[in-house]
Amino acid sequence: MITDKIKKYVIPNLPYAMMFWFFSKCGEAYRFSTESDTLRKLMDAVANLNTALSKPLPSLDPFDLCVGLVGAAAVYAIVLYKKKNAKKWRKDIEYGSARWGTKKDIEPYVDPVPEKNVILTATESLMLDGRPKNPKYARNKNVLIVGGSGSGKTRFFLKPNLMQMHSSYCITDPKGSILVECGKMLQKNGYEIKVLNTIDFKKSMHYNPFAYIRSEKDILKLVTALIANTTPADQKGGDPFWTKSETLLYCALIGYIHYEAAEEEKNMNSLVEMINSMEVREEDETYKNAVDYLFDGLENGIPLVDKDGNTILDENGNTVWESPPQPQHFAVRQYKKYLLAAGKTAKSILISCGSRLATFDIKEVRDLVAYDEMELDTIGDRKTALFIIISDTDDSFSFIAALMYSQLFNLLCDHADNDCGGRLPVHVRFLLDEFANIGQIPKFDKLIATIRSREISACVILQAQSQLKSVYKDNAETIIGNCDTVLFLGGKEKTTLKDLSESLGKETVYMLTNNVSKGQSPSYSQNTQKLGKELMSIDELSVMDGGKCIMQLRGVRPFLSEKFDITKHKNYRYLSDANPKNAFNIEKFLEKKQHKLKIRPDEEYEFFEYAQPEDEIPEEAFDDFTDNDNSEEYPEDLEPV
């Protein structure tokens, strides 16, 4: 800070201090002259100037000081006038100043401890700490990674950053290969492993979206995410009436389930059952189905009756309620709006709702959402690795992943704001591979702009930028703009190449032209001129070496660097890439998970002790106690990072 102030205020004014000293000496020489005539006195002062300059200390005589100040001020005024009217010369950068970044350019953004960085290329990385000593070097950790199929998005970016093991991770894992290759390394280093598998539900932990509803706004967010990701692309932008009508019904039913249903019934299956039981008769609009009676009881209350069916009254003659009236209940208010629809319209709404939730008629999906094992609200409290396995060829169940991501972002932000003073104890990184295939995360353009301060970051991995525009439309540019880092690994998509070439800028180059004239008087001439050329043109980007990549960091010159060599990372030997014995066994992991009884500190439970003679206990009962993860063959020298 002091050095910056010296550079800003002291060094630029040193020449004027020297001018002040020189003119004060001129005043001193003039003052010591014995001549009475002004012209002769000036000539005598010039002759005696060497004597005055031989004294290094300035004179303190008022006359000398005034001469020094006037002289220095005159020089300053002349320099200022020249600057104001000077022509602006940009030597060798007339047509562009673009250049490739150097080690000195990236140095202020790198943490001296390698394990505390986000790996970008073989030579460039970015400190994880979002609050460096000098605030001007602060950058968000959102990264946009663009690379065509086979460019190494997983090998050169995702895996190296997983091996850093400095954060909690939420990883989109197409085909489930990343979990197999990196899961054991993370588990052995103290990470809690969570798995949502939308390809093979039998290899997945259970996820219940209803478990994370805390208030009415959470209900609306869940419904918004559900509708956004279960609406076919060719139907988006149609009549909003049906979407709004479905939203009313979903909010009403989910509100009833959340506030009134038993704990084991708070899941998506109850929602499907309620919709299935809602019969509407077009010819009889006064007909009431089972759900109508439920909401009538909630609105008007359920009085307590005796064995003869008579309402019980208290000593004051007032009705004793089994369930008191709640006309202002959130679910009631939403349901009454839905009931405004006529019989035929209501029937169409129910058909649309049933069609949208048809996926939950599949038994495996119903089992998946029956209860929750994910504990999403704890990911920012302890090191956790959440693997969300989706298919890269079929998006039938991608909406489940989108629901989880939507809830996860909101849960972590609320937890940071309400419980952690605005910052999560453990940084959470979203490694969103195949981002365009996840589905649409509602308000993601706003989330990515606000998560930085809460110790959350997102790495958006795409095959082409056009994929982002197809999902998020006009908001795609906002998402790209909130990623301080862009990493291009190679590709041929024209929109991506054009945008990248323009963002790299132009450099000034020299062009040599030769002119040859033939005839009776032949002549030859050479001309040199300057012109602007793209740092890398579209055709140069399309044929870029497969081992190279381009990294752009906000406020820094772009870098043309080698891709990170995964084999040089100190934790590479713990991956299954290096040793097949390090492969993570999902089936065995889930089997052990099911045998573990987890009791939370705030849960109430009953304890029963049962005595049985030891000789009557089968040997299989001891298997869970003798089986130990550490008994597997695995390197013992894994060091926590």
Does 610 map to a domain?
A: no
pLDDT value at position 32? 76
Q: Are residues 359 and 407 in the same domain?
A: no
Mean pLDDT for the stretch of residues 187-196: 94
Does 131 map to a domain?
A: no
pLDDT value at position 432? 94
Q: Are residues 468 and 576 in the same domain?
A: yes
Last residue of a domain, one of 564, 594, 624: 564
Q: Are residues 231 and 328 in the same domain?
A: yes
Taking only the tens place, the pLDDT of each residue in 90-128 is: 777 788 889 999 999 999 999 999 999 999 999 999 999
Q: Minimum mean pLDDT among 42-51, 158-167, 388-397: which range?
A: 42-51
Does 130 map to a domain?
A: no
Rg, Å, the chain Cα set: 37
Does 612 map to a domain?
A: no
- Side-chain-side CA neighbours of 286 within 13 Å: the count stands at 0
What band does 169 get if pLDDT is binned at 50, 70 and 90?
Answer: very high
How far apart (Å, rounded) are the C-alpha atoms in residues 14 and 516?
55
Q: Are residues 560 and 571 in the same domain?
A: no
Mean pLDDT for the stretch of residues 565-586: 94
Tokens standing for residue 336 = 């009454």
Q: What are residue 119's DSSP bridge partners? A: 125
Q: Are residues 446 and 391 in the same domain?
A: yes
What band does 263 get if pLDDT is binned at 50, 70 and 90?
Answer: very high
Q: Are residues 280 and 332 in the same domain?
A: yes
Does 613 map to a domain?
A: no
Mean pLDDT for the stretch of residues 28-36: 77
Closest by CA position to 559, among listed 533, 531, 535: 535
SS3 content of the chain, % helix, strand, coil (to 5): 50, 15, 35
Q: How far apart are the first and last CA of the chain?
A: 32
Q: Per-residue DSSP letters for 34-50? A: --SSHHHHHHHHHHTHH
Does 68 map to a domain?
A: yes
Q: Are residues 393 and 473 in the same domain?
A: yes
Residue 256 near residue 249 (C-beta atoms within 8 A): no
What band does 524 get if pLDDT is binned at 50, 70 and 90?
Answer: confident
How far apart (Å, rounded) are the C-alpha atoms in residues 251 and 224?
10
Taking only the tens place, the pLDDT of each residue in 209-256 is: 999 999 999 999 999 989 988 887 666 656 788 889 999 999 999 999
What band does 304 get if pLDDT is binned at 50, 70 and 90?
Answer: confident
Q: Minimum mean pLDDT among 172-181, 328-337, 588-597: which range?
A: 588-597
For the cut 50, the answer to whether the pLDDT of residue 626 exceeds it is: no
Mean pLDDT for the stretch of residues 252-262: 94
Tokens standing for residue 152 = 């190494």
pLDDT value at position 234? 61
Taking only the tens place, the pLDDT of each residue in 407-426 is: 999 999 999 999 999 999 99
Number of other residues whose CB lies within 10 A of the CB of residue 321: 13
Closest by CA position to 59, among listed 51, 165, 473: 51
Question: To the nearest whole percent, how much of the chain has pLDDT over 90?
Answer: 54
For the cut 50, the answer to whether the pLDDT of residue 324 exceeds it is: yes
pLDDT value at position 1? 53
Taking only the tens place, the pLDDT of each residue in 433-486 is: 989 888 888 889 999 999 999 999 999 999 999 999 988 988 999 999 999 999
Q: Are residues 238 and 259 in the same domain?
A: yes
pLDDT value at position 630? 43
pLDDT value at position 443? 87
Taking only the tens place, the pLDDT of each residue in 357-383 is: 999 999 999 999 999 999 998 999 999
Tokens standing for residue 352 = 């649309």
Q: Where are the beta strands (DSSP E) in 554-624?
A: 559-562
Does 614 map to a domain?
A: no
Q: What are residue 550's DSSP bridge partners? A: 488, 560
Q: Are residues 97 and 217 in the same domain?
A: no
Q: Are residues 333 and 416 in the same domain?
A: no
Contacts of 69 (CB under 8 A, 6+ apart): 20
User: What is the count of structural domains for the chain?
Assistant: 4
Integer CA distances (angstroms), 492 to 100, 155, 498, 542, 549, in order: 22, 20, 10, 5, 14
446: domain CATH number is: 3.40.50.300
Q: Where are the beta strands (DSSP E) in 434-505?
A: 456-462, 485-490
Q: Tokens 């509708």 correspond to what residue?
A: 227
- pTM of the full structure: 0.79
Residue 49 near residue 25 (C-beta atoms within 8 A): yes
pLDDT value at position 591? 84
Q: Supply the mean pLDDT for the chain.
A: 86
Could you list the residue range(s) of the whole structural domain that residue 361 is in?
211-366
Q: Are residues 458 and 502 in the same domain?
A: no
Q: Are residues 14 and 26 in the same domain?
A: yes
Taking only the tens place, the pLDDT of each residue in 12-21 is: 888 888 888 8
Residue 461 near residue 491 (C-beta atoms within 8 A): no
Taking only the tens place, the pLDDT of each residue in 63-94 is: 888 888 888 888 888 888 877 776 667 777 78
Contacts of 423 (CB under 8 A, 6+ apart): 416, 453, 454, 455
Mean pLDDT for the stretch of residues 562-579: 94
Burial class (CB in 10 A: 0-12, 13-18, 19+), 292: middle
Taking only the tens place, the pLDDT of each residue in 276-297 is: 999 888 788 788 899 999 999 9
Last residue of a domain, one of 341, 366, 391: 366
Taking only the tens place, the pLDDT of each residue in 440-450 is: 888 899 999 99
Q: Per-residue DSSP letters for 340-386? A: TS-HHHHHHHHHHHHHHTGGGGSHHHHHHTSS----GGGTTTS-EEE
Does 622 map to a domain?
A: no
pLDDT value at position 599? 53
